[in-house]
Structure 1
Amino acid sequence: MESIFTHFIFSIFLGFFLQLILHEIGHLIFGLLTGWDFLIFQLNRFALLHLKNKNRLAVVRSKNYQCIMSPKSINSNPMLYTIGGCIVNLFSAVTGFLIILINRMTPSLWLYIWSFTVFGIGFYVMNGTFRINRICNDKACYDLLKYNPYTRLCHNAQLIIAKYLANGFTYRQIGKELICICPDTAGNDIEAYQDILEYYYYLDMNQFNMAEQALNKINTTASFSREITDTLQMEQIYIKLLQRLISNDKNEIDFPYFDVRKHTKKGDVHALRVITVTKAYAKFKEGDLNSVWEIIDKAISEIERSFCVYEGEKLFCIGQLKNLKSIIEDKID
Structure 2
Amino acid sequence: MPKNKKNIKEILSSTIPFLLMLGCGFIAGFLGTKNLDQNELAEISFLGSLFGFIFFISSVLVQTILHEAGHLVFGLMSGYEFVSFRVGSFTLIKENNKFFIKKFNLKGTAGQCLMMPKSDNCESCSYVLYNLGGILMNALVSILCFIIYSSVTTSIYLSEFLYGMIIFGVIAILTNGIPMKISGISNDGYNTFSILKNNTMKYCFYIQLKVHGLLSKGMRIKDMPIEWFEIDEKSDFSNPLICSIKCIEASYYHDRLEFDKAKSCYEFLINYSPNILKLFENEIKCELLFYEIIVTQNQNNINELYTKKLKSYIKATNCYISRARLMYAYHLIIEKDIKKANTFLDKFDKLKNTYPVKGEISGEVEVINFIKNKFLISDNINNSSL
- Residues 215 and 250 from structure 1, CA distance in 2 versus in 1: closer, same or farther, beyond 3 angstroms? closer
Query: For 2:372 and 2:157, how far apart are their aligned partners in 1?
Result: 61
Instruction: Give me the TM-score of the superposition, normalised by structure 1.
Output: 0.87
Q: What amino acid is the match of 1:21?
A: I
What do the CA deviations read for 1:169-211 (whole angstroms, capped 9, x no partner)?
A: 2221234233x23242523112111111111110111222211
1:129 alignment partner, one of 169, 173, 178: 178
1:170 alignment partner, one of 220, 230, 233: 220
- Residues 297 and 240 from structure 1, CA distance in 2 versus in 1: closer, same or farther, beyond 3 angstroms? same
Q: Do structure 1's residue 262 and structure 2's residue 306 form an aligned pair?
A: no
Q: CA deviation at 1:154?
A: 1.4
Query: For 2:317 and 2:303, how far apart are their aligned partners in 1?
Result: 26
Superposed, which structure 2 residues align to 1:24-35 within 5 Å? Answer: 24-35=68-79
Query: For 1:215 and 1:30, how far apart are their aligned partners in 2?
Result: 35
Query: For 1:172 and 1:158, how far apart are their aligned partners in 2?
Result: 15
Query: For 1:217 and 1:82, how far apart are their aligned partners in 2?
Result: 30
Instruction: Give the unaligned 5+ runs of structure 1.
Output: none
Superposed, which structure 2 residues align to 1:245-324 within 5 Å? Answer: 245=297, 249=298, 253=302, 255-259=304-308, 260-263=310-313, 264-284=316-336, 290-291=338-339, 294=342, 297-304=345-352, 306-324=353-371
Superposed, which structure 2 residues align to 1:40-51 within 5 Å? Answer: 40-51=84-95
Q: Tell me what 1:143 maps to.
A: 193
Query: For 2:72 and 2:78, how far apart are their aligned partners in 1?
Result: 10
Determine helix, strand or coil for the equivalent of 1:323.
helix
Deviates more, 1:290-299 or 1:146-155: 290-299
Determine helix, strand or coil for the equivalent of 1:168.
coil
Q: CA deviation at 1:22?
A: 0.4
Q: CA deviation at 1:81?
A: 0.6
Deviates more, 1:258-267 or 1:192-201: 258-267
Query: For 2:223 and 2:266, how far apart are their aligned partners in 1?
Result: 20
Q: CA deviation at 1:257?
A: 3.3
1:198 alignment partner, one of 227, 239, 249: 249
Residues 324, 348 of structure 2: 8 Å contact kept: no
- Residues 230 and 105 from structure 1, CA distance in 2 versus in 1: closer, same or farther, beyond 3 angstroms? same
Q: Do structure 1's residue 93 and structure 2's residue 136 form an aligned pair?
A: no
Q: Do structure 1's residue 182 and structure 2's residue 231 form an aligned pair?
A: yes
Aligned length: 323
Query: For 1:16 and 1:191, how far apart are their aligned partners in 2?
Result: 32
Q: What amino acid is the match of 1:215?
A: Y
- Residues 117 and 110 from structure 1, CA distance in 2 versus in 1: closer, same or farther, beyond 3 angstroms? same
Q: CA deviation at 1:77?
A: 2.4
Q: CA deviation at 1:44?
A: 2.9
Q: Tell me what 1:37 maps to.
A: 81
Q: CA deviation at 1:161?
A: 1.1
Query: For 1:17 and 1:294, how far apart are their aligned partners in 2?
Result: 37
Query: For 1:253 and 1:293, how far apart are their aligned partners in 2?
Result: 17
Q: Do structure 1's residue 16 and structure 2's residue 60 form an aligned pair?
A: yes
Query: For 1:275 and 1:214, how far apart are their aligned partners in 2?
Result: 22
Q: Do structure 1's residue 216 and structure 2's residue 267 form an aligned pair?
A: yes
Residues 165, 310 of structure 1: 8 Å contact kept: yes
Superposed, which structure 2 residues align to 1:34-73 within 5 Å? Answer: 34-52=78-96, 54-60=97-103, 62=105, 65-73=111-119
Determine helix, strand or coil for the equivalent of 2:354.
coil
Determine helix, strand or coil for the equivalent of 1:40.
strand
Q: CA deviation at 1:312?
A: 1.2
Q: CA deviation at 1:275?
A: 1.9
Residues 62, 266 of structure 1: 8 Å contact kept: no
Query: For 1:12 and 1:252, how far apart are their aligned partners in 2?
Result: 50
Determine helix, strand or coil for the equivalent of 2:254.
helix
